[in-house]
Structure 1
């Protein structure tokens, strides 16, 4: 399926946001997520289904100034 992740169009297999995070290699990191500009809590990612042309943001925290 084709979706946009952090501004980049990707072909992915993941049916849920949780699986997308795993597929993209973010599963070992603390991240914040949004689908179509709606924040998704970490506990809801496994139930958040993805569909063609969704827009996903995955943000990792950064330190420093």
Structure 2
């Protein structure tokens, strides 16, 4: 399926958000994630299903001001 990942179109066979993030070698303990502009708590990554055209945004916290 085709999805948007941080503004880029990508193809994936992953079914869950957790599987997708792991396929991208993303440390799920160190990022915040939104699906279709809605924040997803880490506790729901494994049960958040991906569908055609979904938009995923992943950000890492930064220190500073």
Normalising by the residue count of structure 1, what TM-score does the alignment of the two structures yield? 0.90
Structure 1 unaligned runs (5+)?
none
- Aligned partner of 1:38 in structure 2 is 38
CA distance in 2, matches of 1:62, 1:16: 26
Aligned counterpart, 1:59: 59
- The count of residues paired between Structure 1 and Structure 2 equals 65
Please list every run of at least 4 consecutive aligned residues from structure 1 whose deviation after the TM superposition is greater than 3 angstroms: none
Task: Mark the runs of 5 or more structure 2 residues left unpaired by the alignment.
Answer: none
Matches within 5 A, 1:20-39: 20-27=20-27, 30-39=30-39
